[in-house]
Structure formats: structure tokens, C-alpha cells
Amino acid sequence: MSTVTYTVKGMTCGHCVSSVKEEVGEVPGVTAVEVDLASGRLTVGTDGPVDAAKIVAAVEGAGYGVADMS
């Protein structure tokens, strides 16, 4: 399992967190999603390689942006 961290822009409430978790959780290969509202940190666990563009697209589909990833 690997983990990638992203910084999400634009989240302001618990509903925002839920939306991001739901969208990212639907990306094939994603096994875990943690979102911290205060820092904007999105941590994604996967069971193999997952295209970062799919994660970014899921965040954007929830209505938010990605500032960076590490």
C-alpha cells in the first residue's frame, strides 16, 4: 500500500470534507481517504499505482482545487 498527500483548496466545513472523501473514495484503487479540514490535507491510501490526475479530477469533481501534492 502506498500513501500520497495533497493539499485541497476551498474547503470550509464538514460537508466539504465529506464531499471530497466521497469523490476520492470512488477512484479505482483507492483504499483509504483521510481529510483534515484545518490544514486542507488530503491523504490517499492505495493498493497500487493510481494516476494522480484521477485524484485531482475527483477533488475538482467535488468542487475544490488541489494546491500541491507530496
CA separation for the pair 34, 41 (Å, rounded): 8
pLDDT over 90 (residue 19): yes
Given this model, what pLDDT does residue 1 score? 77
Question: What residue has cell string 466521497?
Answer: 22
CA separation for the pair 50, 45 (Å, rounded): 10
Which residues on adjacent β-strands are paired with residue 7? 41, 68
What are the pLDDT digits (tens) for 35-56? 999 999 999 999 998 999 999 9
% of the chain with per-residue pLDDT over 70: 96
3-state secondary structure of 56: helix
How many domains, in total, are found in the chain?
1
For 48, which DSSP code?
S
Q: Which domain holds residue 25?
A: 2-69
Q: How does the average pLDDT of the chain come out, rounded? A: 94
- E strands in the chain: 2-9, 30-36, 41-46, 65-69
Domain holding 21: CATH number?
3.30.70.100
pLDDT over 70 (residue 68): no
